[in-house]
Amino acid sequence: MKFHSTRGGVSGVSFKEMLLSGYASDGGMYLPETIPTVSKATLCSWAGLPYDELAFKIASYFIEEVDIPATDLQAIFKRAFSTFSEREVVPVARLQNGLVIMELFHGRSLAFKDLSMSCIGNFYNYFLGEGKRHMTLIVCTSGDTGSSAIEAVRGFDKVDVVVMLPRGRCTKIQELMMTTVQDSNVHVYRMDGSSDDIDVVTRDMFSDPSFVKEHNLASASSLNFTRVLIQMVHIFYTYLQLCPAADGEVEMVLPTGGAGNVTAGMIAREMGLPVRFVCAVNDNNVLSRMMDDGQCDLGDIHVTLAPAMDIQFAYNLERIWYLCSGGDSALIKKVMEDVDKGSVNIPSNVLNKMKSAIKVYTVCGDKEIRDTIKRCWEENKYHICPHTAVGVAYYYKHRKDINGPCAVLATASPLKFPEAITASEVPAPTSERMRELLIAPTRYTDLEKDENWTAIVRAKVEAISKQKALLQRSS
């Protein structure tokens, strides 16, 4: 299987090349050139498979023997998912009033992003294994992506990771999960600014192709299609948990930010999986406004109790629009020009296709998040994180109208968000690891407002490459 760009300018790209890059060179996003279909009989035969074997079955449609031999691919998934604390990888919680929660957060950084990042770390290692190549992963994070990327590659000698986080804007535990890591290939900057301010540094670096090439820079956000690809596994897994005979439609509620999950879901749907989606969003509701009539202006970012979803524009929408337009790359190019100017403008045929698969639910501010955390605790003595609460809020409000099986995908562990849980008048959960974090030694660099962040981070990347070159010469 080869990959091509949503904007039509790049095609025939191998899995490896796609994995090791970010945006396509025409500015578009990678997708597979064709979407394979899965028959109902095949689907049924997958029910009951362990998570890593299901991952292998699905990934094999996109990653062929010529990319990675089957036995190697199986070993990669086995190793990646063995870092999860639960044997079944994604346990299912069945709660009062028919609420079903898929616990996607049992990886090392306690967020669903570990499901794909742990595989990506292993893919990097696999491809860098033979040669003397080294790469540097650049991560701008509002909380979860940073620690997930760190956990995926810490201790590797072929990969360094540079993480930039907005100081004081992640939760305390999220920040400590990044700043207490002692491995020498992990470099953490706490910047005095917002995620948007930090994004400027990433964009500066990635818009310099010779710098990107010289230092083998890669991005770990879900603009990388490999992340979306691996996230399809938990969509299929959830379906088969709720509907093992593959004889009905399942509704999945996705707490949504960058829309990586729902993109994975839309591809699974194209492959023939009978699913529909509810994108649950917070006050950053571009998606909801756009779904009304295909138009909206991009506003300012609102700070909410669910920070991983405080995203102004869900960049994966470009992929969803492409899929829903039947692959009209000329249209996508035009639509994205509007987005760059600050407004969204979607033709009605694309919008109608989206609406047939996706509903959007906007939570009523932080209050509804708190009320939902509280109700879920009171009914079940079960903690949910504020992102998961945005999804559960939809379920509580609409459960009587839902036909057929429905599951809410829990995107992070409540252990990472004690502040939001306490604010909901619920006793906060804790664990041994959380208590140790609070007293662990830290290792990071602070960058102040008046410093030249881009220059400092570029110099760091250069220093890393130089040191790696010296090490290789001496070995």
Ligand X SMILES: *Cc1c(COP(=O)(O)O)cnc(C)c1O
* Least distance between ligand X and beta carbon 4 (Å): 22
Nearer to ligand X, 10 or 369 (CB): 369
Task: Determine the 3-state secondary structure of 5 from DSSP.
Answer: strand
Nearby residues of 245 by Cβ (< 8 Å), 6 or more positions away: 44, 47
Which two three-digit tokens encode residue 33? 């050139």
Rounded distance between C-alpha atoms, residue 211 and residue 457, angstroms: 12
Helix (H) or strand (E) holding 426: none
Residue 274's alpha-carbon distances to 111, 196, 357, 405, in angstroms, are: 26, 37, 10, 11
Which two three-digit tokens encode residue 352? 């109608």
Nearer to ligand X, 32 or 260 (CB): 260
Q: Which residues bind ligand X (CB under 6 A)?
A: 111, 113, 144, 222, 255-261, 308-309, 387, 411-412
* Least distance between ligand X and beta carbon 145 (Å): 7
For 395, which DSSP code? H
* Least distance between ligand X and beta carbon 242 (Å): 20
CA nearest neighbour of 384 among 51, 105, 91, 81: 105
* Least distance between ligand X and beta carbon 199 (Å): 15
Which two three-digit tokens encode residue 435? 């208590």
Nearer to ligand X, 8 or 255 (CB): 255
Question: From its phi and psi, is residue 259 left (phi > 0), alpha (psi between -120 and 50) or beta?
Answer: left
Known catalytic residues are 113
Find tokens 């009062």 and name the residue: 96
Nearer to ligand X, 212 or 220 (CB): 220
* Least distance between ligand X and beta carbon 255 (Å): 4
Nearer to ligand X, 32 or 258 (CB): 258
Task: Determine the 3-state secondary structure of 205 from DSSP.
Answer: helix
Rounded distance between C-alpha atoms, residue 251 and residue 114, angstroms: 23
Counts of helices then strands in the chain (DSSP H, E)? 20, 15
Nearer to ligand X, 281 or 426 (CB): 281
* Least distance between ligand X and beta carbon 412 (Å): 3
Which two three-digit tokens encode residue 30? 């990678």
